[in-house]
Amino acid sequence: MKKYLFALIMAVLPVTAMASGGEAPLDHIEVDLENQASLQRGMATFVNRCMGCHSADYQRYERAANDLGMPPELVQEYMIFGDKKVGEQMTIAMSKDDAANWFGNPPPDLSLEARLRGPDWIYTYLRSFYQDPSRPWGVNNVVFKDVGMPNVLQDLQGVQINNCTPEELAHHHANAEIDPLTGARMSECLTVVDGTGKLSKEEFDQTIYDLTNFLTYMGEPYRLDSERLGIKVLIFLAIFFVFAYALKKEYWKDVH
């Protein structure tokens, strides 16, 4: 009996956050799959800045266009580079072997990344690159130690440095500088030190939020559909209840 109880508990525990490991705490965001403007901006960043190295093999451009409220012709014109058609999947040409040689590890397909790591991890990861001259690309990452990915958004963020030891990092939110409850400064582990970033801190965070939002959508493209369908089902049930109740009264009115 105990065994079944244990199995049941394991079955209902949420699993997305498990892959994050015992690293620094993550910054939390509320993804919003109804925010089409955010998802559209996220997709634009993804195709421009990530698809040089990462594919999204399970996602078709056209499906994304429809789900995010963009005319497929515009997606074809502005978001697809090379001779691909809008009906095709978001694949890339880079070979996994070449990539593994260049980066140590090949850049993984990102279609399901948000389901693997969870949105909070991605949001924190993309904002947590810091300067580290001992690494091949000159950067390291707070939540992904000795990462093989260069800081591809440094031109937007500027150069970021890390003032904390690994022990300190494990107890600080690397990026959340202000405690939302008390307003107190929580940490200064990561600081952008030069003015070369094209975006302010708020604008950069927004860009990463949009990108994370888009990656979350890609992990569960049907979630939008099911949420909309769920509302219709509830409305149906509410109306159906009125008739069912009236019928029940009719049946039982002579039985006493």
Enter the tokens of residue 13: 């525990």
Select 92 or 235, whichever has its Cβ closest to ligand HEC: 92
Select 70 or 153, whichever has its Cβ closest to ligand HEC: 153
- Amino acid at the residue 208: I
Min CB(123)–ligand HEC separation in Å: 10
Select 72 or 108, whichever has its Cβ closest to ligand HEC: 108
Q: Please, which contacts does 185-189 make with residues 24 or more away whose CB atoms are closer than 8 Å?
A: 188/163, 189/142, 189/162, 189/163, 189/164
Min CB(70)–ligand HEC separation in Å: 19
Select 134 or 182, whichever has its Cβ closest to ligand HEC: 134
Min CB(76)–ligand HEC separation in Å: 21
- The maximal CA–CA distance of the chain, rounded, in angstroms, is 87
DSSP per-residue string spanning 83-109: S--TTSEE-----HHHHHHHHSSPPPP
Burial state string for 65-89 with b = 16 or more CB within 10 A and e = fewer than 16: bebbebebeebbeebbeeeeebeee
Min CB(103)–ligand HEC separation in Å: 3
Min CB(215)–ligand HEC separation in Å: 7
Select 35 or 168, whichever has its Cβ closest to ligand HEC: 35
Q: What is the distance between the alpha carbons of residues 184 and 178, in angstroms, rounded to a whole number?
A: 6
Enter the tokens of residue 18: 């498990």
Min CB(230)–ligand HEC separation in Å: 29
Select 145 or 171, whichever has its Cβ closest to ligand HEC: 145
E strand intervals along 169-241: 190-192
Counted residue by residue, the chain has a size of 256
Enter the tokens of residue 1: 């009996």
Q: Binding residues for ligand HEC, per CB under 6 A?
A: 49-50, 52-54, 103, 105, 107-108, 110, 113, 116-117, 122, 125-126, 147-150, 152-153, 211
Min CB(124)–ligand HEC separation in Å: 10
Helix (H, G, I), strand (E, B) or coil at 162: strand
Select 137 or 201, whichever has its Cβ closest to ligand HEC: 137
